[in-house]
Amino acid sequence: MTESAFEEAERQKRLRRSRSTWKKLSRKRFIKRKMSTKNLERLCQQNASELRTIVVHSEDVDYKEHFPNAFTVTKRTNKPADLHVDLFYHDLSKIPDESYDVALCTGLLEHVPDPQRLINDLHRIIKPGGRVILSASAVFGYHEGPNNYFMFTTWGMKHLLRDWSEIVSVEGASQPFETVGIMMQRALMQCDINPFLRPLIELLANIIPVFDRGVSEQFDSTWQYSDDHKIDSMMPSNVQVVAKK
């Protein structure tokens, strides 16, 4: 190799290393904890149970402390579980009728093309008087594409659970400005962003929920400022529901 060819090869190596470093910095996150996970942890804490629980696709939250008698089900073969199933959870049909007191299912309904079928399976599996605890995307970034089919509203969740005896609670997982912060976090997770801007965006994402302290009331429709249009969160990142069979 001639001296000029050697120098050119070294220059190309430096260029590749520089591009690689820039790419890594374009994806670097300084704060790893997600605000959306905090809301899921709150859901689990509020509905903790020592009864026999089937936990379906809920690796995105640490549920173990709150549901110690859990039977775990997931499609993710790289995650430990009591039962590994197919991509869209049709294998729930293998679980006997009325065999669990509680079902916990988070972050899944938006990833199956037939969420009503999944809800019906959980209804079949739960004992009479048992509960289902759900969380599904509302105002949220696309994730796990292309298997990301739906975003849910409180009314959509009530419709899916129309055959259950009681909707114990249905609420937004976050307040509007907190949702903005969550979406900014998702942008940091799913976008290459100029490394000089990333720390600023990350800081803003964690500060912006403070503006929720200034929100006094929320409504489900533009200009419908009446009591029958009040809502707990007009722009939640997730909708969380507890229903009884």
| Extents of the domains making up the chain | 35-175+228-244, 179-209
Structure tokens at 235: 């722009």
Q: What is the mean pLDDT of residues 46-58?
A: 97
- Is the distance from CB of 72 to CB of 57 less than 8 angstroms? no
Residues 6+ positions from 220 with CB-CB distance below 8 Å: 229, 230, 231, 234
Q: What is the pLDDT of residues 141-175, one digit of tens each?
A: 999 999 999 999 999 999 999 999 999 999 999 99
* Dihedral sign from CA coordinates of 4, 5, 9, 12: positive
The DSSP element (H or E) to which 243 belongs, if any, is strand 238-244
- Is the distance from CB of 138 to CB of 238 less than 8 angstroms? yes
- Is the distance from CB of 62 to CB of 41 less than 8 angstroms? yes
Phi, psi of 144 (to 5 degrees): 55, 35
The CATH homologous superfamily of the domain defined by 35-175+228-244: Vaccinia Virus protein VP39 (3.40.50.150)
Q: Does the pLDDT value for residue 3 go beyond 70?
A: no
Q: What is the pLDDT of residues 65-109, one digit of tens each?
A: 999 999 999 999 999 999 999 999 999 999 999 999 999 999 999
* 74 alpha carbon, distance to own chain's centre: 15
> Per-residue confidence at 241, pLDDT binned at 50, 70, 90?
very high
> Per-residue confidence at 209, pLDDT binned at 50, 70, 90?
very high
Residue with tokens 């470093």: 21
**Of 28, 37, 60, 30, the residue nearest 191 (C-alpha):** 28
